[in-house]
Copies of this chain bind each other. A is one copy, B any other.
Amino acid sequence: MVSKKPQAKSENRKTKIVVVDDHPIVRQGLAELLNREDDLMVCGQAEDAHQAMQAIKALKPDMIIVDISLKETSGMELIKDIKARYPNMSILALSMHDESLYAERVLRAGAEGYIMKAEATENIVMAIRKVLSGQIYLSDRMAPKMVRKLVGAGPNVGASAIERLSDRELEVFRLVGQGYTTRQIAENLYLSIKTIETYRAHLKEKLNLANATELLQHAIRWVNSQDKG
């Protein structure tokens, strides 16, 4: 909310953007696309987190566009690092992956928007402008979901939904993520299969997951992230 907005610039000073993506063809496509706009320009490109931090330091851009699946350090980490050092920097995450998987993580990491590479190029420009104007960009499909998830989370906003699980639920969640079937978990904990089914239902409800596949998917991810944390 400070002086980094486009209207703070005169017309002879374009908004400078750094593009971070490990695919040259995508960087170049973005550069051509944005340089065609009157008030935008790509002032630098980077293909990994290290180059990105250097470019930011040297070029002082107004905004960064980051692909979240980079080679070395993940784009997610890069977003956190950028925000840590430049809290006012505008960041738009760009990805080939479906929003439903990463949008929330990306916003928590500090980005102001998430857009998929599958979007039309006009939408990409629109997303950039929205973020530059200080707003959050998410697709029309995703935005309402996210509001529910973040606001509906009730008291401890910012705490992940996982923290609201009971001990038993968390235990089942971990076992699910380790690949145990419902039956195996029941035997492991000396409980009825029906009980485990109830826990799984609660998990899906609390974590806002649609079906067993999504539950397993998120559980595995969580277990993996625990290992490295």
User: Which residues of A pack against B, CB within 8 Å?
Assistant: 22-26, 28-30, 32-33, 69-71, 74, 96-97, 101, 117-121, 124, 179-181, 211, 213-214, 216-217, 220-221, 224, 227-229
Q: How far is the CB of A111 from chain B (nearest CB, A)?
A: 18
Contact among B97, B121, B179 with A213 in the assembled complex (CB-CB below 8 Å): B179
CA distance A102 to B119 in the complex (A): 26
Contact among B26, B96, B179 with A217 in the assembled complex (CB-CB below 8 Å): B179
**Quick check: B213 and A181 within 8 Å, CB to CB?**
yes
In the complex, which residues of chain B have a beta carbon less than 8 angstroms from the beta carbon of A97? 227
CA distance A39 to B221 in the complex (A): 42
Can you show 22 pairs from A to B with CB atoms below 8 A apart?
A: A22-B118, A23-B26, A24-B118, A24-B119, A24-B120, A24-B121, A25-B29, A25-B30, A25-B33, A25-B117, A26-B29, A28-B32, A29-B32, A70-B228, A71-B228, A179-B214, A179-B217, A181-B211, A181-B213, A213-B216, A216-B216, A216-B220
Give the interface SS of chain A, mostly helix, strand, loop or mixed.
Answer: helix
**Quick check: A23 and B118 within 8 Å, CB to CB?**
yes
Q: When A216-B217, A220-B217 are in contact, do A69 and B227 touch as well, CB less than 8 Å?
A: yes
Q: How far is the CB of A50 from chain B (nearest CB, A)?
A: 16
What 8 A-B pairs come out closest when comparing CB atoms?
A29-B29, A23-B117, A179-B217, A25-B29, A69-B227, A32-B32, A181-B213, A24-B121
Contact among B71, B120, B214 with A229 in the assembled complex (CB-CB below 8 Å): B71
Q: How far is the CB of A129 from chain B (nearest CB, A)?
A: 16
Contact among B28, B213, B221 with A180 in the assembled complex (CB-CB below 8 Å): B213
Task: List the B residue with the shortest CB-CB distance to A70.
Answer: B228
Which of A26, A70, A97, A228 has the most chain B CB atoms inside 10 A of its CB?
A26
